[in-house]
Structure 1
Amino acid sequence: MIFSPLRRSYFLLIIFLLAFQSITAQQKSIKAVKVNDTPVIDGLLNDAVWQKGIPISDFWQQEPVPGNNP
């Protein structure tokens, strides 16, 4: 298959953009906290065990519109 110079340029541009996107993506991590007590699962956060957890934020929506705030 013979590529014209313009098609080759478009192909290389797409490859570059895909590679650049994966390089610049930030790897996020969450650290779990070990507790000795069992938390009460009742929807209320006033239990002392819940206070030991590290809150996380900065969530991004994936569906229906990727990138929006949830």
Structure 2
Amino acid sequence: MHLVIGLGPIGGNIGAHLAQLGQEVYGYDFNAERVREWSDETQSPAGSDLAALAGRPLTASTSRCGWPTR
């Protein structure tokens, strides 16, 4: 299972692509309308309650952009 935090233009598209590839994806965003739209579009579960994921195995994946940090 993959967890996508932030369902805006970047995170939403990454999550949608994973769902199209047949991966199990859970989307998270604090914006209820964005959650509903993304879930309807991808047919994947989404919400704004990370506690609901407790006990579920997650696949951790990160991407490094190379942006400087302060």
**Shared topology, TM-score over 0.5?**
no
State TM-score, norm by structure 1: 0.21
If each structure's strand is expressed as a fraction of its own residues, which one has the higher value?
A: 2
Q: TM-score, normalised by structure 2?
A: 0.21
Which structure ranks higher in relative contact order (CA pairs < 8 Å, sequence separation ≥ 6)?
Answer: 2
